[in-house]
Structure 1
C-alpha cells in the first residue's frame, strides 16, 4: 500500500489507477475524494491493526484509545466519505458501483457501532464491530490480491474482473470476520458451560 500511495505523490494524475479514470479527473469532488482516500489509507490500516494488540491494550491503554480514535475519525470523517463518493463513479457499471457504495456504508456503520459500544463499555460488542470494520478496511489489500489472482488464472475481460473483485474483495473478508466472531462466541460458551459444570458435579 505504501508503494501505491507514494506513486500519487506529489498529486500525480496520470499514474496507476488514474490512467483509467481520466474521464473523471476534472470532476473536483471526485478528484479530491480520490487523493484523500489514497493519502489517508495508510493511517487507517496502521491504526486499525494496532487495535487488536492485547499487549497494547493491557500495557498502553491510553495509546490504544488514542489510536482507536484516530482510526474512527479517519473512517467516519475522511476515508469512508471519500470512498462513498468514489463508489458512485466505480468502473464496471451499476454492479460495481453498488458494491463499492455498500462497502463504504457498511464500513462507516460498523465503525460507528464500534465507537458506540466502547462508549457504552460493552467491550465484547465493541471488539466484534471492530473486527467487522477492520475486515472491510483490509479490502484495500484483498481486492488487489483477488485481482492479481483472477487475472493470472483466468482469461476474463478487464471490466468483468473488476465487477467480480468489487464484491469478493470485501464480502469474503466480512464472511471471515463473522466466522471469527461466531467461533469466539462458541469458545466462550464452552468455557462458561465447563465452569458451570464444575459446580454441578457431585463430590
Structure 2
C-alpha cells in the first residue's frame, strides 16, 4: 500500500534531507580537521609547501560552521520568532564564507590535483564571495526577497561540499564495473559536477519557489480599466 505525498510534504522531506546531510558533513569534516594532524587530511597535501595543510584547515573549519548554520537561516519560523538570532547567525555565516573562500583560493593554488581542479575551486570561491556580497547589499537596502535569492545561490555553493562527497562515493562505486576509472578522474569530475549541479538546483528553486509565486500573485491582481478620453 502506498500513501501519496503532497507537494508540501515532498518539499519538507527535501529540506530535511538537505539539512541532515549538511549538518552531518559539517560535523564529520570539522571534527576531522580539529585534530591538527596533517596525516588525517582527506585532501592530498603538497609536500613542497609546509603551510598547505594550514590553509586547508583554515578553509575547512569555517566552511563546516557555515554548512551547520545555513539550514537554520532558511527557517521562516526562526526568522519570525527570533529575528535577532537570525541576524547574529547571518553575520557569523558571512564571516565564515569570507574566511573559507579566501583560504580555499590559497589552498587551491598549492593543490596537487591539477589545473582543472584549481580552476574549479577558483571559480567556486569567486562565486561564493560574489553571491555573499550581493545578498548582503540586498538586505542592507531592505530587499528581503532579493536577499533570500542571493543567499539560496550562496548556500547552494556551500552545499557543493556535501554533493562532492556524494559524487566521489558514486564514482568509487562505479570503479567496479568500470575499472579504467582512476580516482583522479573521479575526483576532478566530482568537483565540477558538484558545483554545476548545486548551481542548477539553486536556480530551479529560485524560479519555482520564489519568482513563480510572485509572478502568479502579480498576474492575479485585477487590472484597473483605463478609458480613452
The alignment's TM-score, normalised by the length of structure 2, stands at: 0.79
Task: Tell me the CA shift for residue 22 of structure 1.
Answer: 4.9
Find the residue that maps to 2:39 and give its secondary structure. Answer: coil
Could you list the per-position Cα deviations for residues 14-52 of structure 1 after superposition, in whole angstroms to 9, with x for gaps in the alignment?
12415x3252551x2x32211112222221112222210
Task: Tell me the CA shift for residue 91 of structure 1.
Answer: 4.2
CA distance in 2 between partners of 1:192 and 1:142 (Å)? 36
Determine the structure 1 residue equivalent to 2:219: 193
Tell me if structure 2 keeps the 8 A contact 1:92–1:160: no
Once the two structures are superposed, the pairs formed by residues 1-203 of structure 1 within 5 Å of their partners are 1=25, 2-18=27-43, 20-23=44-47, 26=50, 28=51, 30-76=52-98, 78-154=99-175, 155=178, 156-183=181-208, 184-196=210-222
Unaligned runs of at least 5 residues, structure 2? 1-24
Unaligned runs of at least 5 residues, structure 1? none
CA distance in 1 between partners of 2:49 and 2:38 (Å)? 7
Equivalent pairs counted in the alignment come to: 195
Task: Describe the shift of the 1:68–1:11 C-alpha distance in structure 2 as closer, same or farther (beyond 3 A).
Answer: same
CA RMSD of aligned residues (A): 1.8
CA distance in 2 between partners of 1:89 and 1:171 (Å)? 23
CA distance in 1 between partners of 2:199 and 2:48 (Å)? 30
CA distance in 2 between partners of 1:3 and 1:25 (Å)? 26
